[in-house]
A and B are shown apart, each in its own frame.
Chain A
Amino acid sequence: MTVKVYPLRDTSTMLRRNIKQELRDKVAIGAIIGIPVLFLLLFVYVFGGALKDSVRSASTPAYIDYVLPGLIIMTAAAGLIGISTQASVDMTAGIIDRFRTMAIFRPSILIARIAASALQTLVAMVAVFVIAFALGFRSDAGLMRWLGAAGLLAFVTVSLACLGLAFGLAAKTVASASNGPFPLVVLPLVGSGIVPTSTMPAGLRYFAEYQPFSPMINTLRGLLLGTPIGWSWLIALAWCGGLGLLGLIWSVSVFNRRDRQRGTPGPGFSAAAAG
């Protein structure tokens, strides 16, 4: 017997399900927008006065201009926590096992998860941009540079979503899926996001310059503000490609692993559900 498989139809069914979940999980979407906005307010109004002199240049007349690219990249990292939590809820709540007993196009489960999460994160980035403009952010970028920025952010978002998917699928509990990746959210701060790396002590500076978020931030800042980009764009794309591929391979291998010991829906589930 040959069973007909419907890749597109199943993917769009799963995508609709995932988007519905995201719209209902107000806590998660609040956090993905809220975390970067909180840091934005903190850095612009609390530390901005002290930090602005270290970054002042012709292309970044206001501190908010300097700091925003780092916080936009931080939004993608916050989105990674979102997908990690959702994937873990699915795994531990048993619905994935139900899908596995059905004659569906299996990759649709993962593809739709990544696509829905990336959409959510990109919408959150737009919200952070809007708030930043309201607070005085200005960019002299033309259409081409904005399109470049959009392309970069889409790539960053999708690759981090792949990584987050793997974290979530592999996590034993929902709590570990949502707390585990948190260090990634503050990683942009220990890079070129807040102050130039040249102001840091040697060891830290080395780390800050070579960690994956710094080239992404430098590229985005260059596109938005016209600061020099150098080879940052290439390093950023390489990091994204590498991390995304790693996330995908890891996700698929965890997803195909059988005989998992099933976990229980942990506290993250009820916290998310209460929203």
Chain B
Amino acid sequence: MIKTDGKPSGNAAAGRTGAAIEVRGLRKSFGDHVVLAGIDLSVPAGTVFALLGPNGAGKTTMVRILATLSAADAGEVAIAGHDIVRDPLAVRSVIGVTGQFSAIDAYLSAEENLLLMADLWHLPRRAGRQRSAELLELFDLAGVGPRPAFTFSGGMQRRLDLAMTLIGAPRVIFLDEPTTGLDPRGRRTMWELIRRLVRTEAVTIFLTTQYLEEADQLAGLVAVLDHGAVVAQGTAAELKRRIPGGHALLTFTSASALEAAARQFGDRASRNDEALTLQVASDDSARSVQDLLAGIDVDAVRHVALHTPDLDDVFLTLTGQTGKEQS
């Protein structure tokens, strides 16, 4: 239950822009190690925002600060208009957080975990039971019965964790690598759940991920975090366009066919005589593929593979280094 006394507690900038999350000059170090070196970002209400970065980039640090778990060294953050330092309780009353590691009560059953959250959100008894039953159904946990959560698989724990985050109907949701550790099917299910959430509940979602594809699937806006700074921001499509990592890999049946095709493409291609392959810059649209194949003898092509840019390409391009562990 939330009482509003009309006094604005948040910072004025966020109030004006109507952003659900407003971050200005956010800095954080652990000792000498600068993890966030002045981050600015703004997430409009009702959208999905993805923070993309490799291991150690500072994604979790960022989420922990926005979720009032950790204190920044400098900068201003407003969540739904509430300043995280001046009014953390107001922030907590509108957010839901699913951390990188499951935060469930292992001794309780799925339903008991959800009812615990409902009680802590101060939902009326009946509303809590009803919402819990809906979420168990939605997250495919309705059949698990009274067994304690420590018997669940990683994927089930992840789903329960997200269901616990949603039970109080938070308006701003933080998801730290929500699909890491899930199998491909689990990942698709999670994506579907997140999309449905945005469609039906009009929430704002701030998620972190190491996969451009995931950001692409879910987010309107993507920011790339590297060594504590946002090195690129935009839609996933915009980011991909800036990245020349997209290519088609053609494998030929003979050296002469490779030779002929290589002459055809000139500068656009790089060849590998041993593997009889030719790598040609291209995106993954049908039009590009058609253009690509139009000029060559398709009977001499054994195999075509399309490579769309992934996080490695993003990092290689934007930072001039591979997306390996940063420390």
Q: Does A93 interact with chain B (Cβ within 8 Å)?
A: yes
| A10 near B120: Cβ-Cβ < 8 Å | yes
CA A99 to CA B121, docked complex, whole Å: 10
Residues of A with C-beta under 8 A to B286: none
Q: Are A101 and B5 in contact (CB under 8 A)?
A: no
Interface assignment of B317: CB less than 8 Å from any CB of chain A: no
Distance, CA A9 to CA B125, complexed state (A): 12
Query: CA of A6 to CA of B168 in the docked complex: distance in angstroms?
Result: 16
A267: Cβ under 8 A from any B Cβ: no
Instruction: List B residues 46-72 near A (Cβ within 8 Å).
Output: 67-71
Give the docked Cα–Cα distance between A270 and B107 (Å): 11
CB–CB B90/A1 < 8 A: yes
Taken together as a complex, chains A and B put the C-alpha atoms of A258 and B64 apart, in Å, by 10
Of A3, A20, A99, A104, the residue contacting B2 (CB under 8 A) is: A3
B89 touches A5 (CB 8 A): yes
**Inter-chain contact A98/B164, CB cutoff 8 Å:** yes
A262 interface residue (CB < 8 Å to B): yes
Residue numbers in A under 8 Å from B68 (CB-CB): 100-101
How many residue pairs, one in A and one in B, have C-beta atoms under 8 Å apart?
Answer: 95
Contact of A97 among B90, B93, B99, B112 (CB under 8 A): B99
- What separation, in Å, do the CA atoms of A7 and B97 have in the docked complex? 22
* Contact count band on B: 35 or more
Asked if A9 and B4 sit within 8 Å, CB to CB, the answer is no
Q: Mark A74-102, 1 if CB is under 8 A from B, else 0.
A: 00000000000000010001110111111
CB of A1 within 8 A of CB of B107, answer no
**Shortest Cβ distance from B88 into A: residue:** A103
19 further A-B contacts with Cβ under 8 Å, apart from A89-B106, A102-B121, A273-B148, are A1-B82, A1-B93, A4-B1, A6-B122, A13-B116, A17-B105, A17-B108, A17-B116, A25-B107, A93-B106, A94-B99, A95-B104, A97-B103, A98-B164, A99-B120, A101-B67, A101-B96, A103-B89, A269-B106
Could you give 21 example pairs across A and B, Cβ below 8 Å? A1-B7, A1-B90, A2-B3, A2-B4, A4-B3, A10-B120, A20-B112, A21-B107, A24-B107, A24-B148, A93-B103, A94-B101, A98-B103, A101-B68, A102-B92, A102-B120, A102-B121, A103-B92, A258-B71, A259-B71, A273-B150
B residues adjacent to A (C-beta < 8 A): 1-5, 7, 9, 30, 67-71, 82, 87, 89-90, 92-93, 95-97, 99, 101-108, 112, 116, 119-122, 148, 150, 164, 168
Q: Which A residues contact B (CB, under 8 angstroms)? A: 1-6, 9-10, 13, 17, 20-21, 24-25, 89, 93-95, 97-104, 258-259, 262, 269-270, 273
